[in-house]
Structure 1
Amino acid sequence: MSSGNTKPQSAPVVENPTTVADMRRNGVTVGDPIVEDVEGIEAMYRRRDDAHKARDWEMLRDTIDFPVWMVTDSADVQAVTWYGDESKLLEVQHNIMRLVPRSPVHHERRYVFLTSNLALNMESNTVMVGNEQVAFKAAHLVIRRDDGKWRVKSVMEGGWGNVAKMFGTDFRVPPSTP
């Protein structure tokens, strides 16, 4: 007689797998063919670039998978991190963008696909500040969600730790558990 509390049966686990088929039976998909959706990622980055140019935070919001993991550094600490929810990140982003020039940023992006749904964007950037050209590098972890859209999950860019603290975000605070 069944109590009604039955768990779905899962495939038996193959301990110490010796074949790819054993790994597949365990649910591991490492080694699956990778479909590199460069066009999809570039469409997302065009939306991000347009949002930054227009200072349109609603448009920017659609390109981020919240909560987002921020990684930067500051003058007094080697590296700092922050796990940001939607409202706090957009508040900090809005304040920081007031401090940077409206000059267009030139991006040279290189994508490394880990799977068909996980990729890294390694970029070299330049921007004119007055008569000076400033070069900087950044990296993003981008993920494709169930809706098929790519979004930024993590942003890594040096030099913003002190600036963010000015607006009440101390990147050195340990992240809360999501």
Structure 2
Amino acid sequence: MMKILVLYYSKHGGTQQLARAIARGVEAEGAEAVLRTVPDLPPFGAQHNQSSNGNASTDPIVTLNDLKGCDGMALGSPVRFGNMAAPLKQFIDSTSKDWLSGTLIGKPAIVFSSGSMMHGGQETTLQSMMLPLLHHGMVLVGLPHSEAALHSTVSGGTPYGPTHLTSESQRSLTADEKALSLAAGKRLAAVAQKLKE
């Protein structure tokens, strides 16, 4: 069975919601979604306390073996000043051996993000996650404009990947955000299957 790694960091739960919706799309295509997260980092200047993790996720922590065993990957982060969050970047920075050995070459990938402002940097955050994936030789898969929700969304969702706009009044994914996340997961699994064949 095809295994798609859905790897993300989520501080307040928005990115985790996207990860779960993408995983449902992956599984709708008959592939296995492997949900993984990364450990939180201590605040700048503070001592790290392993027992208090600010990560909103209850999913297992990713290992480098998860990269070796996947047929494709969805990578997600909340917006941090238009960039991916430091805990996710720290994990990516630890993958040099996999880069040298070509672990991810030729495997498809998507990116996803959540943020609390309409113009807070969702698209640049997606692009910041694309760069290391390109260095790893992965095949980036976007959302084509044939997805109707791209034309109707007034919250999250871009051709670069699914996004979620969270606010005090809108904590859950909108119908369009769910539709785009499901579509992205299905598309990723379908492309992974074609590339494997």
- Pairwise TM-score range, normalised by the shorter structure: under 0.3
**Larger radius of gyration, structure 1 or 2?**
1
Greater relative contact order: 1 or 2 (C-alpha under 8 angstroms, separation 6 or more)?
2
Return the TM-score normalized by structure 1.
0.26
| Higher share in helix | 2
